[in-house]
Amino acid sequence: MTASLVIAATTEVLRHIVDTAVQRAFNKLGRGISKPAVTTGVPPNSAATDPPTVNLFLYRATPNVMFRNLPVRDTPGAPTALDLDYLVSAHGPVVESEIGLAAALNALHQTAVVPPPVIREALQRLVSHTNPVLRAIGTDDQLIDTLESIQISSSSLDLDTITRLWIAAQAPLRPSACYRVTLVFRDPISAQD
């Protein structure tokens, strides 16, 4: 079951990184300023009067081409590598959402390789989550060891592609950026066979 959780776990690790950065940025601004919520999923169809939000939307998952061509991939128990493409966007009141977006983009830029303690902290926060699926991710003891590497890099999309993404999401165009997350994991079940 561990291998089937790695994409969702990676999204939660990114959410943790972004949420921590947004919290830090808004703590510096002082009291009474509403911190954007950090959400995942399809970008919300929000208005400027809605609460501020920074959203992470996984819009594509593909095998990592470079890793796929290595001869080691045919070895039993060999690691698997995926490229996960995310759209990071800001929603709600302009100033608060843009501060949240800037904090998110800076945090993702500064975290080119996610250190194991950050992965561990992000997943352990899910242990008491109300969502049973997220709680299952947080309580899977093998998951932290399964995630061998999470690398984050910015990517760019042309205006036509990003416009098609927003049309598919059925949401108005919002300030956004794209990131590619390369995930390397080893399925413990395959490794034991």
Encode pLDDT of 132-175 as tens digits: 999 988 888 888 888 888 999 999 988 888 888 888 888 877 88
Number of domains observed in the structure of the chain: 1
Q: What is the DSSP letter of 103?
A: H
The residues that bridge with 110 in the sheet, in sequence order, are none
Residue 72 structural domain: 2-192
Distance CA 180, CA 85 (A): 5
Structure tokens given for 107: 């945090």
pTM: 0.88
Residue that the structure tokens 């049973």 belong to: 132
Which residues, including other chains, have CB under 8 Å from residue 142's CB and lie 6 or more apart?
A: 2, 188
pLDDT at 94: 85
pLDDT tens for residues 12-48?
A: 999 999 999 999 999 888 777 778 999 999 888 777 7
Q: Which of 22, 30, 80 is nearest to 51 (CA)?
A: 22
